[in-house]
Amino acid sequence: MPAEKSTNDKSITNKINKLNEKTEWFYGDDFSLDEASAKYKEATKLAKEIKEDLNNLQNEIEIIERDFSKE
């Protein structure tokens, strides 16, 4: 199970890094109003995925905490 969490952590970290890159685009020299809507939709979708991943991780942690508190 630790390998799974490690992969999950890397996945979340990778998604956060990608979101940061997408967000930075809005402040960069390559900004284009024509592309802004599509880039915003991509960033929003990625942010939603990150939120879901973090919620799933939180649920896993809560389950583990409950299991340990029973012992």
Domain map of the chain by residue range? 2-70
Return d(Cα 55, Cα 71) in angstroms, integer. 25
Q: Tens digit of pLDDT per residue, the chain (71 long)?
A: 454 555 777 899 999 999 999 999 999 998 999 999 999 999 999 999 999 999 999 999 999 888 888 76
State pTM to two decimals: 0.74
Return d(Cα 50, Cα 34) in angstroms, integer. 26
Contact 57, 12 (CB under 8 A): yes
